[in-house]
Structure 1
Amino acid sequence: MKLRADQTGDRGLPMPLWLQGVLESVQAAVISALAVLAPIIAVWATAGFQNGQPDVLARLAGQSWLLVHGVPLKLVGVGQDAAATGASGILSLVPLGLTLIPFLLAWRAGRRLARASYTDQLWQALLGSWAVYSVFGAATAFVCRTPDVVINLWHAMLFPLIPFALGMIIGARREAGSWSRLIGVDAVDWISRTSQHSRWAGSYLASAAKAGVVGVLVALSLSAVLLAVDLFIHWNLVVTVYEALDAGVVGGAALTIAQLGYLPNLVVFALSWTSGAGFAMGAGSQVGPLATAVGPLPSVPVLAAIPAGGLEFGFVALMVPVLAGVLAGWWFLREGENHFDEWLSIKIRARWFTASASTLVLGLLAGLAAGLLAMGAAFLARGSAGLGRLTDIGPDPLWTGVWVAAEVGIGVVIGYAAGPWLERGQTVPEHNAQLVH
C-alpha cells in the first residue's frame, strides 16, 4: 500500500490519513442517508403521509437510517390499543438488503484508504473514520428521537459501526491483497517457522471450515430459488394484496423497495424452513415444511406467499441442506487437504476404519462450521416488529444452527465418500492421493 498522487492535498503535501478517513465516513453517511430519504420524499410528494411536515419526515428518515444500521427503536404507544394502555415494543427487524448500502460504501472507502496508506499507518485512517461515523449515529439518534420513538444513544453510537467497520476492513483487505500487508505482520514468515504437522493441521481445519462455508452458501442459494418459485406460484395472492392496499404507483414502488430490503432476511427464513427448524411470524406461530400455524398477518404483499397448512411433500425440502453438504464434501475432496486422513492412515493400518473415521470427523467439523454460520445468519435476520403479536419474527438461531449443522454434516459425509464416483474417472488433485511419509 503506497501513497498515490491523486490522494494528496496540493501536489506536495499529502492529506492526513485521519482527515481522509473523516471525509470517507462523511461521504458514506450522507449517501446512505439520501438512499433512505429518497423513497420517503417520493411518498410525501404524492401526499402519502398524514403528517407531511418537513421535521416529521426528517425524523422518520433518521430513524429509518438507524434501523438500517441495526439500531433497535423502542416504540411507545403505537396503535390505538397501545396508545390507550401506554404499551411499548421494540422494532429490531433490520432490512439486511438496505444494510448492504453502508456496507458497500464502507468497502469502497476501505479500498481507497488502503491505497493511501502505508502498512503501519492504516489504523490512523480507520480510527478517524470510525469515530466520525459513530458521532454521526449518535447525533442522528439525538435529533430524531421522539416521545413515541425512543432511541438509546449508546446503541446509536456503536451499532452503525458493525456494518461500516466490517465493510471497511474487508475492502482494505481486498486492496492490500493479504492480512500481512494490511496489519504489518508477516503471517507467511510466522507460519513458515511452525512445524510441518502444524501447517498440515492448519490447512486441514481451514479447508474443513471452508467446506462448511460452501455448504451454507449452496443451501442459501437453493433456498433463494425455492423462495422465488414460491413467489411465482402464489403471485396472484401477492397481487391481490397490492390491489387491496391501493397505494398508487409511488406508494407501491416504495412498498416494493421496502420488501426488497428484507429480501436477504426472507432468504434466511427460507433456509431455516428447508432445514426443518422453521420460523416464526408472531409470538406462538410456526412456519415449517411439515405444518404452518400462524395468526393474522399484516397486509404486506410478500407475506401472502407463505404456504398455508401442511404440505404433502414438504419433507422433501429437508434434502436441500443435505444436497448442499454433498456438494461441499465433493468440493473438499477436490481441494485435496485431508491431512487428517493421511496421518490416520499412517498410524492405523486398517483402511476401512481410517477412511470411515476421517470422513465422519470431516462431516463433524464442516457441519459445525455450517451450523455456526447458519446460527449467525438467523440471528441477524430475525427481530421484532414491535407491534402486537409481531414481537417474534424469524428463525430461532439455536435450532436453525443445530438442524443445518446436522444436515450439512450428513451431506458432507455422503459427498466426500461418493466423491470418486462423482468424479467419473476425472483426476483428483495429485496431492490429495499422497500419503505423508
Structure 2
Amino acid sequence: MKLRADQTGERGLPMPLWLQGALESAQAAVISALVVAVPIIAVWATAGFQDGGADVLARLAGQAWLLIHGVPLLLHTVGSGAGSASLPDAGALSLVPLGLTLIPFLLAWRAGRRLARASYTDQLWQALLGSWLVYAGFGLTTGFICRTSDVGITLWAAALAPLVPFALGMVIGARREAGSWSRLIGVDAVAWLSRTSQHSRWAGSYLGSAIKAGCVALMASLAMSAVLLAVDLFIHWNLIVAVFEALDAGAMGGAVLTIAQLGFLPNLVVFAFAWISGAGFALGAGSQAGALGTAVGPLPSIPVFAALPAGSLDFGFAALVVPVIAGTLAGWWFLREGENHFDEWLSIKIRARWFTAAASTLALGVMVGSVAGILAAGLAWLARGSAGVGRLTDIGPDPLRTALFVAAEVGIGVVIGYAAGPWLERQQKLREADLETAAN
C-alpha cells in the first residue's frame, strides 16, 4: 500500500491519521466559534446587552454556534394566560441560517482535502473517525455548558447535528482532492461495473442521467429564483431602507442585522423558489405567501420582510413558468446526453413508434420531475424552521407541497424540452453553419 504520488515524501515524521483528523476538527471548531462570537462581542462593546457578563456572552456565542449547525434551541418564555395568570410557554428556535452554516462546511471541506493528501489510499476512514469524534465531543460539550433555564439544548442533538454539515463538507473536500472514489476508498467502480450485464449498465446510465437532469432542473430553478429575489429586493429597496431607519439600531447594530440577514440569504432563495413554484411559504402559523396570492399576519420589523409582495397579484401566475423553463432545459440536456435507453428498449419491444416515443418521453418527465421534486423537498426542509416565538413557529415552505408543485412543473418542462430538443439541435447547427460561412 502506497501514498498517492502527489503526497510521497510530504512529511518526515508522519502523524497518526486519527490524531491529525482530531487536530483539523478542533481547528475548524475553534475558528467557526470565533467567527460567530465576533458580532456578539461587537454588540456587547456598544452596550447592546442588558446583561454583559462574560459567562452570558460565552453562552450566547455557544448557542449561536449550535444553531448554525442545525441544533434546535428550546426557548422557555412566560406567556399570558387567561385572566391575570401567566403560563409558561416553550418554543423551539430551529430556523437555521444556511449562509452561516457554510462557515463550518467550508472549514470541513478544507480539512477533508488536507486529510486526503496525508492519508494512504483506503485509509482515510481513520482520519475521518478521529475528526468526527472530536467534533461531536465539541458539540456535546458546548451544549452541556450553554444550557440555561431560558434556553434548553438536547445533548444528543448537540453532539450529532453538527456532524451533518461538517462530515458532508469533509467528505466532499476529500473526494475533490482524491479525484475519484476509487482513489479515496480503494474501490474500483469501473471494474465493478464491467462485471455487470449490459442491461444493468444501460439501466444505470439511464437512471444516472435522469438524476443529473433533475439536478440541472433544480439548479436552473434556484438560479432564476435568486435573480428574481435580487430584482424584488432592488424594487423594494426604499421600503427596506425605511425599516432600517425606523429601527435606529446604530452603526454596529445595523451591521450585525445585515450580517444576520445575509446569513439567511440561502433560506430566502429557497423561499423564492417555493414562491415561484406556486407552493408558497409560511411566515407564521396560518399564513401563506406565494405567486398565487399572499395572506400573512403582522410581521416583525425585519427589513427584508418589506420586500415581500403582498395581496392578490394579477400576473403572479406567470412566475409558475420558471420551473417549467428549468425542466425544458433539463429535457434538452438529457437529449444531448444520449442515454435514453428506456426509449431504445421500448422501441424494440413495440413497433409503433408514435406510441413508444410518447410513452418514453412521458416516463422521462415523471422520472426527472420526481427527482427534482425530492431534491426541492430536501431544500424546503433545510430552509424551514421555527423562530420559537408566538405565531412565528412556522416559517418556510412545506416540503411535501413544494415537492408536488415542483415535480409537476419540471415534469411538464422536461416533456417539452425533450420533444423540442431535435428542433433546437437543428437550429443550433444552422446558426453554427451561418457563422462559419460568414467567417469564411
Q: Same fold (TM over 0.5)?
A: yes
Give, as a single letter, the amino acid of the residue that structure 1 aligns with 2:101. Answer: T
Q: 1:233: how far off?
A: 1.1
Q: How does 1:310-329 map to 2 (within 5 A)?
A: 310-329=312-331
CA distance in 1, matches of 2:135, 2:359: 50
1:204 partner letter: Y
Q: Is the 8 A contact 2:79 2:87 kept in 1?
A: no
Unaligned runs of 5+ in 2: 431-440
**Which residue of the partner structure matches residue 199 of structure 1?**
201
- In structure 2, distance between residues paired with 1:317 and 1:67: 33
Aligned length: 425
Quote the offset at 1:229 in angstroms: 1.0
Task: Show CA shifts across 1:281-322 (max 9, x none).
Answer: 000111111211111101110011111101110000111110
1:379-390 alignment, distance < 5 Å: 379-390=381-392
Distance 1:277 1:131, change over 3 A: same
For residue 84 of structure 1, report the CA deviation from its aligned partner.
3.8
Query: Which position in structure 2 is the counterpart of 1:46?
Result: 46
Question: Among the aligned pairs, what percent are the same residue?
Answer: 77
2:268 match: 266
Distance 1:299 1:273, change over 3 A: same
Which of the numbers 280, 283, 299 marks the counterpart of 1:281? 283
Between the aligned partners of 1:209 and 1:386, the Cα distance in structure 2 is: 36
**Superposed, which structure 2 residues align to 1:174-193 within 5 Å?**
174-193=176-195
The correspondence for 2:7, drawn from 4, 9, 17, is 4
Q: Is the 8 A contact 1:43 1:251 kept in 2?
A: yes
Give the match for residue 412 of structure 1. 414
Distance 1:240 1:51 in 2: 30
Contact 1:68 1:95 in 2 (8 A): yes
SS at match of 1:85: strand
8 Å contact kept, 2:79–2:88 = no
Name the residue aligned to 2:305.
303
Distance 2:386 2:9 in 1: 46
Whole-angstrom CA distance in 2 between matches of 1:250 and 1:81: 37
Whether the 8 Å CA contact 1:207–1:335 is kept in 2: the answer is yes
Look up the equivalent residue of 1:326 and give its one-letter code. T
TM-aligned CA deviation for residue 7 of structure 1: 5.5
User: How much does 1:120 deviate?
Assistant: 2.2
* Structure 1, gaps ≥5 residues long: 429-437
How big is each residue's C-alpha offset from its partner over 1:48-103, in whole Å with a ceiling of 9 and x where there is no partner? Answer: 22221111111110000000000000000167889942111000000000001101
1:186 aligned partner, one-letter code: D
Instruction: Render the CA deviation track for 1:379-405: whole Å, top value 9, x for unaligned.
Output: 000000000000000000000001001
Tell me, in whole angstroms, the C-alpha distance in 2 between the residues paired with 1:65 and 1:56. Answer: 14
Aligned equivalents of 2:125 and 2:402: distance in 1?
37
**Residue pair 1:78, 1:387 contacting (<8 A) in 2 also:** no
Distance 1:129 1:371 in 2: 34
Q: What does 1:350-429 align with in structure 2 at a 5 Å threshold?
A: 350-426=352-428
* More divergent stretch after superposition (35-44 vs 370-379): 35-44
**Which residue is equivalent to 1:112?**
114
Query: Does structure 2 conserve the Cα–Cα contact (< 8 Å) formed by 1:18 and 1:129?
Result: yes
AA at the equivalent of 1:321: P
Match of 1:33 in 2: 33
Distance 1:259 1:120, change over 3 A: same
TM-score relative to the length of structure 1: 0.94
Alpha-carbon distance between aligned partners in 2 of 1:221 and 1:258, rounded to the nearest angstrom: 22
Given residue 128 of structure 2, which amino acid in structure 1 is its aligned partner? L
Q: What is the Cα deviation at residue 4 of structure 1?
A: 3.4
State the partner residue of 1:19.
19
1:68 equivalent in alignment to 2:71: no
1:119 counterpart SS class: coil
The Cα offsets for residues 260-284 of structure 1, whole Å up to 9 and x where unpaired, read as 0001101111111111110000001
Amino acid at match of 1:175: E
Amino acid at match of 1:338: N
Provide the rounded CA distance (Å) in 2 between the counterparts of 1:80 and 1:258. 29
Q: In 2, distance between residues paired with 1:169 and 1:247?
A: 41
Measured in 1, the distance between the counterparts of 2:66 and 2:204 equals: 40
Cα RMSD (Å) of the superposition?
1.7
Amino acid at match of 1:104: L
- What is the alpha-carbon distance in structure 1 between the residues aligned to residue 289 and residue 70 of structure 2? 25
Kindly tell me: are residues 230 and 426 of structure 1, through their superposed partners in 2, closer, same or farther at Cα, counting changes over 3 Å?
closer
1:149 is aligned to 151
Summarize the alignment of residues 125-144 of structure 1 with structure 2, pairs less than 5 Å apart.
125-144=127-146
Maintained 8 Å contact 2:78/2:86? no
The answer (yes or no) to whether the contact 2:79–2:89 under 8 Å persists in 1 is no
Partner of 1:252: 254
Residues 334-343 or 234-243, more deviating: 334-343
What is the DSSP-based 3-state SS (H/G/I as helix, E as strand, rest coil) of the residue aligned with 1:361? helix
TM-score by length of 2: 0.94
1:25 is displaced (CA, Å) by 0.2
Tell me, in whole angstroms, the C-alpha distance in 1 between the residues paired with 2:238 and 2:404.
Answer: 35
Provide closer, same or farther for how the CA distance between residues 110 and 6 of structure 1 changes in structure 2, counting only shifts above 3 A: farther
User: Matched residues in 2 for 1:146 and 1:202: separation?
Assistant: 52
Contact 1:283 1:389 in 2 (8 A): yes
Amino acid across the alignment from 1:397: P
Q: Hey, what does 1:432 align to over in structure 2? A: none
Distance in 2 (alpha carbons) for counterparts of 1:77 and 1:185: 53
Partners of 1:80 and 1:31 in 2: how far apart?
41
